[in-house]
Chains A and B, each alone.
Chain A
Amino acid sequence: MQTIVNVLADLPPAAVEMVGMWVAALLTLAVLSFILGDNPLFRLAEYLFVGVAAGYAASLAWSNVLWPRLRLLVTEPGAYWYYGVFFALGILLLARGVKPLSFLGDLPLGVLFGTGAALALGGVITGTLLPQLRASFLSVSPSDYGEGVLGWACAIDALLIVLGTIAVVVVFHFSAPEDPKSRSWGYWLLNLFQGVGRKVMMVGFGALLAGAAFSFFAVLKGRLAFLCDWITHVVDVGL
């Protein structure tokens, strides 16, 4: 491996870049070929991607996270004793891949899940739920926003935000009684909020759809620009 890398390192950078450009261009074309239908080239590209992605992530986890800590554990075991505990747990986690020993992985998973759940719980309460609730308590008094029409406009906006949010929450978490004969005020109000909530949600989903179209389209433009560069390069330099 070292020899191969040395040989590659000795190649002129322009050659390495040219080979890279060709590889990237052919892979881009292989993936784009999917719009014509599933085909072996695409499948190959797909599998290649999964292999490279898994290898890249795992090697980074080793070289960037585990290896530096393992070195510290070996060189200063007194200060970093707890790394020993977590490395042992990590090895137990790997045992999950071996069927007869998979129960050993439950312990480190318990640590992961327990800690993750606690941090998510604390985070979502203090970072999302409470601040967003606080942000929903908006004043609907025009005088708080300014004089004249502007104050009124802002107050109406605030009211709409509050009512819209409540309506969307109602859509998700409450349902009206199924009995259509029910004519209580509560039923009517709930139905009204659900109807409004769905429509408010559709505005949000419309924005999401537009955003998704922009995103994917920007990526497509980028890939086509790359292919254009490649073709220009091929025309200029030749194969």
Chain B
Amino acid sequence: MIVCPACQHRNPEGAEVCEACGASLEGFAYRVCPKCGALNPAENLFCHRCLERLAGATSAKGEQPPATEEAEKVLAEVEEEEGTLPPFLVEQVEEAEGAPPVAEEPAPSEEEFPEALPPFIEVEEEEEEPVSEVEGPGGGETLEAVQAEAPAVPSEEREEKEEELPQVVVNPLAGVEDVLPLEAGISLPHRAEPLPTEGPTEKERADADLLRRIAEEGPPLQEAPRKAEEKGVRRLSGSGRALIYLLVLLAAVIPFFTGGQTARWVSPRRSVGVFADVMSRLPVHTPVLVSFDYSPAYGEELDPLARAVVQQLAARSVPMVVMSTKPEGIGIAEKVCTAVAQEMDNYRYGEHYAVLGYLPGEEAGLRTLRKGLADAFREDYVRHRPLSEIPVVSGIASVTDLEHIIVLSDESGIVRRWIEQVRRENTVLLHALVSARIEPTLIPYAQAGQLETLIGGAYGAAEYERATGMRGAAAQTVDADAVLFLVMLLIAVVTNVVLISGDKGRSPRR
């Protein structure tokens, strides 16, 4: 069976065009497992979930289509590599890579990064949000080049769709894969790449054959514990979910009624204090580069921090050069800078600050920036003038001439690129002000001294406001965090009470 990527109609094996919508199935993305219903990549010989041999891949030896041999090799390699993973991670890799519901529900894709970018970059995209590389909604050749980013929403749809399928949950992270930036760390080293089309060697054929036999035998040793675990998983009912949503909503509106009662306890951590101190001592003749590498998705979290930093720089007339490596980032940068400049008449565009624009190319873009500012930006974003005509930038040949770079980001991959491509062995000090979601992933860089500063999230903004003595909005909303903690605590208690009562209920029957 072949699922039409355009309309999700399930077509019989061998169909070339979709029976329902007529779309070409030449570039179909997934096959449905006849046994468990899971969706599998077209080249899979066996179902990733139940190891059933997939229809269409069962042609007799010698009649295999050219792609099948290749697929066998891919399978062999995937299995071989996954064999090196502990079972609980294998599960996770399967869940992350299989990601069937995304394929079932090809949301209108935000096709921002066509395959022009290497696969590891795509994976880094995956790290941030539930992203899956699927063929575009219309299928076909033209869409191969498209990486579809499922917006935040399908994660929930995915959760719902998963419920229709046999579930095997064997790791404690079940359920949070969609919301944590884990995939890259787990799946990247084991990502299967398409292999060269040259025929497989004898050894590879033998390995593939061995693997097929093992796969067909099934994993008896793992079956029993898996089934036992399945019993322990009780899905959240509709009303339970509604209750959780309601509690979260209530927690979020708390600050409107309490007015920031807990804000008086906000006390800046050492790292925030040190950063505020560094900002307050910057020489007024050395420009600072600020890169707005976040999208409006996390604007509500990072805008207060960005505004506080820009305000502090502007208040002291410290020259500032602004850019972004995300298209959306430059819109935010302009908005924040304009708002601050309007508040402070003596902080003028061109003389004190300049918005250079958007720099594409990821690694290549940052490498260009390192080589020469004028190579990366041929003109500024606001006035469209060559950089040599903008006083605040004219003295800067390369970013390595700068002393401080501030990166505001919602993707750990972006901060990593700044460290790898720009900072390297340089003396330039890199300050990362990031979304709380990615803060832990960057801790090793901060510990190793590769990041001078690492400040996370809205609470970082509240601490920064306190450290600089500014009156900002961030501190006024911290009350809600206490309620969020209570909600999470309640969830933890309830889920375990349900788990224990479920176990007790079952135990007499054992």
Residues of B within 8 A of A119 (CB): 363-364, 367, 421
User: Quick check: B86 and A198 within 8 Å, CB to CB?
Assistant: yes
Docked complex: A9-59 residues within 8 A CB-CB of B? 34-35, 38, 42, 46-47, 49-51, 53-54, 56-57
Residues of A within 8 A of B89 (CB): 171-172
User: Quick check: A116 and B480 within 8 Å, CB to CB?
Assistant: no
User: Quick check: B425 and A126 within 8 Å, CB to CB?
Assistant: yes
One of B110, B253, B438 near A211 (C-beta < 8 A): B438
User: Quick check: B477 and A225 within 8 Å, CB to CB?
Assistant: yes
One of A53, A116, A174 near B363 (C-beta < 8 A): A116
Given A120-B121, A123-B417, A128-B416, are A68 and B378 neighbors across the interface (CB < 8 Å)? yes
User: Quick check: B110 and A205 within 8 Å, CB to CB?
Assistant: no
User: Quick check: A68 and B180 within 8 Å, CB to CB?
Assistant: no
Say if the beta carbon of B17 comes within 8 Å of chain A: no
Residues of A within 8 A of B458 (CB): 214, 218, 221
The CA-CA distance from A61 to B144 in the complex, in Å, is 21
User: Which of chain A's residues has its CB closest to B378's CB?
Assistant: A68
User: Which of chain B's residues has its CB closest to A31's CB?
Assistant: B153
Residue-by-residue, is B458-478 near A (CB-CB < 8 Å gives 1, otherwise 0)? 110000000000000000010
User: Quick check: A127 and B457 within 8 Å, CB to CB?
Assistant: no
Residues of B within 8 A of A61 (CB): 327, 358, 360
Q: How far is the CB of A198 from chain B (nearest CB, A)?
A: 7
Docked complex: A81-99 residues within 8 A CB-CB of B? 93, 96-99
Residue-by-residue, is B251-262 near A (CB-CB < 8 Å gives 1, otherwise 0)? 111011000000
Say if the beta carbon of A151 comes within 8 Å of chain B: no
User: Which of chain B's residues has its CB closest to A165's CB?
Assistant: B444
Residues of B within 8 A of A194 (CB): 86
Residues of A within 8 A of B141 (CB): 99, 102
Binds B, one of A131-139, A140-148, A181-189: A131-139
One of B245, B298, B328 near A215 (C-beta < 8 A): B298
One of B362, B381, B425, B436 near A214 (C-beta < 8 A): B436
Residues of A within 8 A of B459 (CB): 214
Say if the beta carbon of B435 comes within 8 Å of chain A: yes
The CA-CA distance from A108 to B116 in the complex, in Å, is 8
Residues of A within 8 A of B509 (CB): none
Docked complex: B412-468 residues within 8 A CB-CB of A? 416-417, 419-421, 423-425, 435-441, 444-445, 447-450, 456-459
User: Quick check: A222 and B480 within 8 Å, CB to CB?
Assistant: no
Given A202-B172, A217-B251, are A54 and B362 neighbors across the interface (CB < 8 Å)? no
User: Which of chain A's residues has its CB closest to B157's CB?
Assistant: A38
Chain A contact residues: helix, strand, loop or mixed: helix
Residue among B156, B301, B381 with most chain A CB within 10 A:
B301
Say if the beta carbon of A209 comes within 8 Å of chain B: yes
Say if the beta carbon of B98 comes within 8 Å of chain A: no
Say if the beta carbon of B151 comes within 8 Å of chain A: yes
Say if the beta carbon of B202 comes within 8 Å of chain A: no
The CA-CA distance from A57 to B113 in the complex, in Å, is 10
The CA-CA distance from A117 to B193 in the complex, in Å, is 14
Say if the beta carbon of B481 comes within 8 Å of chain A: yes
Residue-by-residue, is A154-189 near B (CB-CB < 8 Å gives 1, otherwise 0)? 000000000000000001111100000000000000
Say if the beta carbon of B140 comes within 8 Å of chain A: yes
User: Quick check: A174 and B358 within 8 Å, CB to CB?
Assistant: no
Say if the beta carbon of A60 comes within 8 Å of chain B: yes
The CA-CA distance from A99 to B440 in the complex, in Å, is 44
User: Quick check: B444 and A132 within 8 Å, CB to CB?
Assistant: yes
Say if the beta carbon of A235 comes within 8 Å of chain B: no
Given A65-B358, A117-B118, A222-B299, are A216 and B179 neighbors across the interface (CB < 8 Å)? yes
User: Quick check: A135 and B457 within 8 Å, CB to CB?
Assistant: no
Docked complex: A58-74 residues within 8 A CB-CB of B? 60-61, 64-65, 68-69, 72
One of A34, A64, A135, A214 near B156 (C-beta < 8 A): A34
Residues of B within 8 A of A53 (CB): 110, 112, 328
User: Quick check: B189 and A173 within 8 Å, CB to CB?
Assistant: yes
Residue among A174, A213, A221, A222 with most chain B CB within 10 A:
A221
Residues of B within 8 A of A223 (CB): 300
Say if the beta carbon of B78 comes within 8 Å of chain A: no
User: Quick check: B420 and A217 within 8 Å, CB to CB?
Assistant: no
The CA-CA distance from A116 to B114 in the complex, in Å, is 14
Say if the beta carbon of B484 comes within 8 Å of chain A: yes
Given A64-B381, A109-B116, A217-B251, are A50 and B109 neighbors across the interface (CB < 8 Å)? yes
The CA-CA distance from A34 to B241 in the complex, in Å, is 13
Given A134-B448, A211-B456, are A217 and B484 neighbors across the interface (CB < 8 Å)? yes
Residues of B within 8 A of A198 (CB): 86, 88
Say if the beta carbon of A8 comes within 8 Å of chain B: no
User: Quick check: B435 and A215 within 8 Å, CB to CB?
Assistant: yes
User: Quick check: B116 and A211 within 8 Å, CB to CB?
Assistant: no
Given A34-B153, A64-B381, A116-B362, are A213 and B484 neighbors across the interface (CB < 8 Å)? yes
One of B121, B156, B248, B441 near A116 (C-beta < 8 A): B121
The CA-CA distance from A123 to B176 in the complex, in Å, is 30
Q: How far is the CB of A66 from chain B (nearest CB, A)?
A: 10
Say if the beta carbon of A5 comes within 8 Å of chain B: no
Given A46-B151, A50-B110, A123-B420, are A135 and B444 neighbors across the interface (CB < 8 Å)? yes
User: Quick check: B424 and A126 within 8 Å, CB to CB?
Assistant: yes
Say if the beta carbon of A228 comes within 8 Å of chain B: yes
The CA-CA distance from A164 to B400 in the complex, in Å, is 35
Residues of B within 8 A of A219 (CB): 297-301
Q: How far is the CB of A45 from chain B (nearest CB, A)?
A: 10
Say if the beta carbon of B115 comes within 8 Å of chain A: yes
User: Which of chain B's residues has its CB closest to A170's CB?
Assistant: B86
User: Quick check: B357 and A218 within 8 Å, CB to CB?
Assistant: no
Residues of A within 8 A of B423 (CB): 127
Given A128-B416, A172-B89, A217-B251, are A68 and B363 neighbors across the interface (CB < 8 Å)? no
Residues of A within 8 A of B379 (CB): 68
Say if the beta carbon of B173 comes within 8 Å of chain A: yes
Residues of A within 8 A of B255 (CB): 221, 225
Residues of A within 8 A of B484 (CB): 213-214, 217
The CA-CA distance from A68 to B375 in the complex, in Å, is 12
Given A53-B110, A172-B85, are A208 and B457 neighbors across the interface (CB < 8 Å)? no
User: Quick check: B182 and A208 within 8 Å, CB to CB?
Assistant: yes
Interchain residue pairs A-B with the least CB separation, the first 6: A222-B300, A127-B420, A123-B420, A135-B448, A218-B458, A119-B363
A/B interface sample: 7 pairs, CB < 8 A: A116-B117, A120-B121, A134-B448, A172-B186, A202-B172, A214-B458, A220-B248
Given A64-B381, A224-B256, 12 extra CB contacts under 8 A: A50-B108, A50-B109, A51-B108, A64-B358, A97-B145, A99-B141, A120-B120, A120-B363, A132-B445, A211-B435, A212-B436, A220-B252
